[in-house]
Amino acid sequence: MYKVIAKKCSTYDIPKLKKIIDTIFTDTEFYPTLKSLTTVLLKPNLLGAYPPDRAITTHPNLVAAVIEILQDHKIKISLMDNPGGTVTAMRAYQLSGFESLAKLYGITLINPFKNGIYTYKKNTKYSVSKAFIDAEAIINLAKLKTHMYTLFTGAIKNFYGIIPGLAKSNLHRLAPNPTKFAEFVVDIYEIIKDKVAFNLIDGIIGMDGDGPSTGDVKKFDIVLGSKNAIALDFFASRLMGYNPEKIPTTRIAAAREGLDFHDFHFTGDFKDDYILPHCNIQASKRKSRILNLLSVPLKGFVKRFFWTIPYFDPQKCVQCKACVKFCPGKALTLEEKDLAPKIDPQKCILCMCCIEICPEHAVSLKKSFLGKMLIQEHDPSKA
């Protein structure tokens, strides 16, 4: 039986959060494990250099509450993540509130550039930041968000951050569609899963619509926790209104471990069938569906009418070139005279990374008229 506790929480007040997380740790019987630990590595969601109120990264006050509990047990703490794109972790720590948190509590922030790399071979070759492999135990601190490529980003997807920034680009290039990409994400989770002592999801403010970085900030007022990342994602995605068995990372991870969804147990402040009100998951479902459809080789004349492609808004673009440097398909160019990157549609693999990493929200997905019709007709909520 894998227990998931969901608690109502409408504030980032640290003492209140500490009480809630203490209840989650108690009710999931995590304390015996925690008391046996001497060091813990915290793994927040640090997608990029964004302030906490953008709901893209794990809120530092939730992390502070966890730190206080660990320090009450005399546990030595470090924190690390690899942001996406070309932004440095140190810059992301600074803007997302982790630098001041580290100073306040005396914890170690690990700089990925000074950390080594281990290489693993599974379905492909993975470079993984050494700190995660060397850790005695990891506490996973994820964020509740939709994801227009993988539908949902929760506990399992958060481990994609153990891959250094630009190495992520290579994995995207090797994944022809969201389902294959989810297999890579589960491979990565499997490399690290024996180290993961606990998983929490920060859903006090989260994101719906075009997540994980360009969606709408929503006050979900919820914190969830479990010792098992798959069970946690199962219920977190269900709370958002998804059919959890259709979330690729959950489905693939559970199948590989031979887990039965009936062995997952949901408890806490919400009824079993509770769905977060006004949570818009349709945008991410439609986009993920069309990206899966377009990964099937289409005949030329079909492709001419049913296309979808990133659009770079010259009014918003600040020519930082982050998307150009990261683009897994090498589909982007930006010359001095240009106001925004130019895209080569033949090279674009529709990985959505440019949308995810653009700090100015200058990239969106543009669809042909027939492409829009196709997406509407194949609304995966009916799947």
List residues near ligand SF4 by CB under 6 A.
Answer: 310, 312, 317-323, 327-329, 331-332, 334, 340-341, 343, 348-354, 358, 360, 362-363
Of residues 98, 113, 238, the one with CA closest to residue 165: 113
Q: Pairing state of beta strands 151-153 and 125-129?
A: unpaired
Q: Rounded to whole angstroms, how far apart are CA atoms 102 and 60?
A: 10
In the complex with ligand SF4, the residue whose CB is nearer, 205 or 349, is 349
Give Cα separations from 78 to 82, 113, 340 (angstroms). 14, 16, 39
Rounded to the nearest whole angstrom, what is the least distance from the CB of residue 94 to ligand SF4 in the complex? 19
3-class DSSP state of 40: strand
What value, to the nearest 5°, has the Cα angle with vertex 367 and ends 55 and 152?
Answer: 30
- Nearer to ligand SF4 by Cβ, of 25 and 326: the residue is 326
Strands 342-343 vs 332-333: parallel, antiparallel or unpaired: antiparallel
Pairing of strands 264-268, 2-8: parallel
User: Residue 256's CB: how many other CB atoms inside 10 A?
Assistant: 14
Write down the least CB distance from residue 167 to ligand SF4, Å.
15
- What tokens does 191 get? 């490399």
Minimal distance, residue 349 CB to ligand SF4, in Å = 5
Shortest CB 315 distance to ligand SF4, Å? 11
- Closest separation in Å from C-beta 169 to ligand SF4: 8
Using the minimum distance from each CB to ligand SF4, give the nearer residue, 9 or 349: 349
Q: Which of 128, 351 has the CB closer to ligand SF4?
A: 351
Cβ nearer to ligand SF4, comparing 178 with 268: 178
**Across-strand partners of 142?**
201
Quick one: 92 or 352, whose CB is closer to ligand SF4?
A: 352
- β-pairing, 138-147 with 151-153? antiparallel
> Nearest distance from residue 275's CB to ligand SF4, in Å?
31
